[in-house]
Amino acid sequence: MTNSADENSPPIRRALISVSSKDGLGDFARGLVAAGVELFSTGGTRKFIEGEGLPVRDVSAYTGFPEIMDGRVKTLHPKIHGGILCRHDREDDQRVLAEHGILTFELVVVSLYPFEATVARPDVTDEDAIENIDIGGPSLIRGAAKNHAFTTIVTGTEQYADVLAELKATGKTSYALRRRLAGAAYEHTARYDRAISNYFARELAEGPFPAVLNLVQERRATLRYGENPHQQAAWYVDPRAGSDTLAGAKQLNGKELSYNNLLDLDSALAIARSFGSPAVSVVKHNNPCGAAEHEQLAEALRRAMAGDPVSAFGSVLGFNRTLDRACAEQLAEPGLFVEAIVAPGFEPAAVEILTTKPKWKSNVRLLDVGPLEAQQAMLEYRSVAGGLLVQDRDVLADPEAEWQVVTQKQPTDAQLAELRFAWNLVRHVKSNAIVLTKDRALRGAGAGQMSRVDSVRIAIEKSGSLAKGAALGSDAFFPFPDSIEIAAAAGVTAFIQPGGSKNDADSIAACDQHGLVMIFTGRRHFKH
């Protein structure tokens, strides 16, 4: 649009204000009045403005038609929409205004009924939901946005400052601002309609899966690149995401997050928070190369970093407790390098150490996700060409009551605790997944192999001498006893796996032959 669009823009003489959220409205309205703008409003908004000691005209008094049906109908009137939609450069539109006594509204300020917040309440009734479907508000927004060549539409409190700044400078708004606000307005009403559609779509859903999937994701950042430098990438977040997720995290230090950082941080946090005791995870290329739990967080960190020290260089760490001074001092030791750390809090002394002592002090990303809540069942989405795959996220603990000891030898209490740790961890490793653990610490992992026996060999090689007396967790059943034989030869003493192979009897017989323990969980944990 050329500069003539700004030159022909009308001054803002009148503003129609109808908002459900009054945040920042007092100062905004005062700024409008100070700029000579006449305010028009309805119901609760008008009373609020009056309460601020500001002059405001009642819409019903202007239209000559009262609010009816408990406020369901108040702004749906030609004298309102005509004043919003009129084209200021059209003589015929101006004649219609004069003929019907219609005033122009150059500024429209609207926030809609809180439908999303209402239906999110666990005790919401259908009647409450229906009454929070705004009708007049979206009509005002769409009309003003359509006529953005002349009308300014404001749908968010964060937009107040920009409008006031231009109004004070020129008595009107620029076309560039009006165009931007119009785009934001249409996204605002689109999101609102999607929320309503999702509410009614529950009746057409199959379990948790709606007939039409409407996702609202807001762009958080444009990333430098994706998995590789030649790929463009951006980060989008669900505005409803909890504060204990990456979407709600506060970055305390470091460079901007990369695509791969975000993937690894999400995995590191998921692993650490899956344990009840203090725990630390060490992630590299989206797989754990170290993980441990211990009553002392610093000891859990030491054991986690010792799991695979070579791979831990340049890794991402996840904590399920506040990162304290002792952990920070350990991480600041010479020879260590950490890309990013996510934790439910950082002690001030720990932040001071991590951002001043190591060579990588200015680069390490520190993300504080706040207190961790109990994990809830949720949907996860993965893209395939032309669509999405949707499933329940594999975060809930397995019912241990369903586990079966299938060998002659029974596990000791210590072995059972170790197997529990291994089983909790193996679900976070890419399939085919094998973990060897000892003293509730990951000693070796075999990940992403096409053959399960190859994963076993890799896990044993990573474990070295620590394989002796270790527990082995497998994300799926052993189709042949060869993996049992290889692990037994390395000194593994206990196994946990789903069971379910037609050759289960062979694997059980191999364990019994070597005097080993094996538990069947009845549930697998593939992670592709």
Transcribe 342-374 into DSSP letters: EES-B-HHHHHHHTTSSTTTTT-EEEE--SPPP
Q: Of residues 22, 88, 285, 514, which has the active-site annotation?
A: 285
pLDDT band at 509 (very low <50, low <70, confident <90, very high): very high
The question of whether 79 is a catalytic residue gets the answer: no
Report how far residue 28's alpha carbon sits from residue 111's, in angstroms, rounded to the nearest whole number: 14
Round to whole Å and give the CA distance between 478 and 487.
12
Q: What is the DSSP string of 457-515?
A: HHHHHHHGGGGTT-EEEESS--SSTHHHHHHHHHT--EEEE----TTHHHHHHHHHHHT
| In contact, 39 and 49? CB cutoff 8 Å | yes
**Res 119: pLDDT:** 72
Of the pLDDT bands very low, low, confident and very high (cuts 50, 70, 90), residue 74 is low
- Helices then strands, counting H and E runs in the chain, come out as 20, 21
In the chain, pLDDT over 70 holds for what percent of residues?
Answer: 96
Instruction: Write down the catalytic residue from 22, 88, 146, 527.
Output: 146
What residues have CB less than 8 Å from 167, skipping those under 6 apart? Answer: 12, 31, 32, 35, 37, 173
Q: Give the confidence band of 91 by pLDDT, cuts at 50, 70, 90.
A: confident
Report which of 416, 523, 417 is spatially closest to residue 476, judged by C-alpha positions: 523
8 Å CB contact between 191 and 17 = no
For 400-438, the pLDDT digits (tens) are 999 999 999 999 999 999 999 999 999 999 999 999 999
Cis omega (within 30 of 0) on the bond before 432? yes
Closest CA to 294 of 321, 256, 313: 321
Sole residue written with tokens 């015929």: 92
CA distances from 275 to 40, 264, 292, 346, 397 (A): 57, 18, 9, 19, 10
Distance CA 123, CA 513 (A): 58
Range in 391-400, 417-426, 518-527 the model is least confident about: 391-400
pLDDT for 486 equals 97
Q: Two tokens at 318?
A: 């996840």
Q: What is the mean pLDDT of the chain?
A: 90
Confidence of residue 1 (pLDDT cuts 50, 70, 90): very low
Q: Average of pLDDT values for 183-194?
A: 88
* Residue 409: active-site member: no
Closest CA to 30 of 54, 47, 51: 54
Res. 67: pLDDT tops 50: yes
* Residue in 177, 40, 14, 187 with CA at minimum distance from that of residue 104: 14
Is residue 126 pLDDT above 70, yes or no?
A: yes
How far lies 7's CA from each of 163, 188, 277, 372, in Å?
Answer: 17, 28, 66, 54
Task: Report pLDDT for 2.
Answer: 45
Decide: residue 201, CB within 10 A, 0-12 exposed, 13-18 middle, 19+ buried.
middle
Q: Which of 172-176, 341-345, 404-408 has the lowest mean pLDDT?
A: 172-176
Average pLDDT over residues 130-136: 77
